[in-house]
Amino acid sequence: MASTSDIRKGLCIRFNNDIYKIIEFLHVKPGKGPAFVRTKLRSITNGKVLDNTFSAGHKIEDVRVETRNYQFLYPEGDKFHFMNVDDYNQIELASSTLDAPEFLKEGDICKVMFNAEDNMPLSVEMPASVILEVTYTEPGIKGNTATNASKPATVETGASIQVPLFIEVGDKVKIDTEKGAYMERITK
């Protein structure tokens, strides 16, 4: 058993007869009254997000997890196929177990979290950032780079992001997978 002081992003807990992953948390100590922890939880089984507040010192049942490296092979409808890089076993996971499936490119290495008790896959941790090629964007106008303006762009996985005006088709960009935001242009 863990307590609210052990809460961190990515922790898997058993709550309301289901397994949830903590995606956001905030420790709050009001001037009057007891402290509490405000959390945002995502269900591992169905992907629903729920807000919950735990009082300070509340006991929570954490789920022991193991992390293994898997390579993304291909998508098939709502399912994603992965291969273990150590023993080449393949697994199929629903898109709800992925944090940002729109940025997943074939061949990317991800960390898959498994429940240590029953060896069931719980979720997929994406890399912190990915490098993707821009496949479509409107051309930038020369001399229009003094402002912090942005324009929509489509990357090779089909995802849409906002990029600065100087980005052109064929440029490789680094994307923060957590926020889904442009970070920088990659030069060769």
pTM of the entire predicted model:
0.72
The pLDDT score that the predictor gives to residue 154 is: 92
Q: Report all structural domains of the chain as residue ranges with CATH numbers, in order of start.
A: 2-62 (2.30.30.30), 65-125 (2.40.50.140), 129-186 (2.40.50.140)
On the CB side of 158, how many CA atoms lie within 13 Å of its CA? 7
Say how far apart CA 177 and CA 128 lie, in whole Å. Answer: 6
Does residue 101 sit in helix, strand or coil? helix
Tens place of pLDDT per residue across the chain (188 aa): 888 888 888 888 888 888 888 889 999 998 888 999 999 998 877 778 899 999 988 899 988 888 899 999 998 888 999 999 999 999 998 887 787 788 888 888 998 888 888 888 887 888 888 899 999 998 876 665 556 788 899 999 889 999 988 888 999 999 998 888 899 998 86
Q: Give the Å distances, CA to CA, from 47 to 41, 44, 62.
A: 9, 6, 18
Six-digit token string for 50: 């729920």
Q: Going by C-beta distance under 8 Å and a sequence separation of 6 or more, which residues neighbour residue 7?
A: 22, 25, 37, 39, 54, 60
